[in-house]
Each structure stands twice: as structure tokens, then as C-alpha cells.
Copies of this chain bind each other. A is one copy, B any other.
């Protein structure tokens, strides 16, 4: 998470970490304050509710994901399909590093909250739905470029294929979390490009 100098940022960093490790319902405002070293009065000064902090944590995690995973993976220094492959590799490496640090395959705050809360909290569900759309847009742009360059058949539905790739990414995170194994995520990652139709011969 890195060091931060003020209570609000400490709370957000703490929320990202605890949501990743334990989900939402099992983490209380008291837990968040204790782990962040922040008084409860300060908490409510910054965030009207635990949900508001969760929304801020999702924004922070999006910044991390964009800067550390998506922007580097989708840099146009390699062909489009290679960028998609690189996104799966970077996501796997990120999970492996976190597993090494914490001793558990914890998955990602987006996937954890999506499964835990989408049927219960409409505000968080909509936030996650919008976040996944921004995430899928990176895949979609690369696919569209692949269609341009002839690496992908022109008839490909790039929007739906992008959603399929993102689904697969979160599916392998779910399986790897259940197996507590970043190694499983690495093996399954290698099948992702199969979801993209090959160029017609």
C-alpha cells in the first residue's frame, strides 16, 4: 500500500487491503479504524458510512489497476494480441506477488466485492459495473486494432469478445483463489487467447 501521510488516505489504503483479504461484511468500521490507526470520529468526518469508504477504495484500486496493470500491458509497443496476453501475465504476476506477501491468494477487490455485494447493494454494483466497462474497454481497443491489422477476423464482435476475456480473467482468479494457487492462475492464463477467433485461413 505504501505510506501515506493523512488519515483519509490511510483509511482508503486499509480498506483496499482488508476488502481484498476479508471481503466487506466481515470488516467493521472499528476494524478499519484500528488497522488504519484512525479515530472513529475522523472516520465519520471523511466518510458518512462504510459504503462510502468502500466506494473510495474502489476508485483507489482502479487507479492502481490502471497504472500498474492496464497502461503498461496495453502500451502499443507490441501487437494487439500480445498486449492482451501481457495483461493476463501482469494480472497473474500481481496476484502471485500478493500471495507471496500475504500467504494467501486473495484475488482482487473488484471481483471480491462483485460476488459478495452485487445482489445486495445497488450503488456498489453500479460502481463495479462501470469499472468493469472501463477495464473491458482496454481489451476492446486492442481487439479493434487487431481487426484493423487483420490479426482477428473482421466479423468478430469485439465488444462481446472483450467482455468474454474479462470474464475469463475473473473466472481464473476465482478458481485460483479457491485452490489458493497463483500457479493455477498462471496455467489457466495461457488459454485466454483462445477466446479470440483466429484469422480465417
Residues of chain A at the chain B interface (Cβ within 8 Å): 21-26, 104-107, 111-112, 114-120, 125, 128-129, 132, 160-161, 163-164, 166-172, 174-175, 177-180, 184, 187-188, 191, 194-197, 201
Q: By the criterion CB–CB under 8 Å, are B25 and A177 in contact?
A: no
Task: State how many copies of this chain the complex holds.
Answer: 2
Q: By the criterion CB–CB under 8 Å, are A160 and B119 in contact?
A: no
Contact of A129 among B104, B161, B178 (CB under 8 A): B178
Q: By the criterion CB–CB under 8 Å, are B119 and A174 in contact?
A: no
Given contacts A167-B171, A191-B161, A191-B164, contact A115 B116 (CB under 8 A): yes
In whole angstroms, how far apart are the Cα atoms of A197 and B163 in the complex? Answer: 20
Given contacts A171-B168, A171-B170, A188-B164, contact A120 B21 (CB under 8 A): yes
| Given contact pairs A164-B168, A164-B194, A171-B174, a sample of 8 additional A-B residue pairs in the complex whose CB atoms are under 8 Å apart | A23-B116, A107-B118, A114-B177, A115-B116, A163-B188, A164-B172, A166-B171, A168-B171
In whole angstroms, how far apart are the Cα atoms of A26 and B160 in the complex? Answer: 33
Chain B residues whose CB sits within 8 angstroms of the CB of A169 once the complex forms: 171
CB distance from A102 to the nearest CB of B (A): 8
Q: Interface centre among A24, A106, A167, A191, by most B CB within 10 Å?
A: A167
Chain B residues whose CB sits within 8 angstroms of the CB of A117 once the complex forms: 23
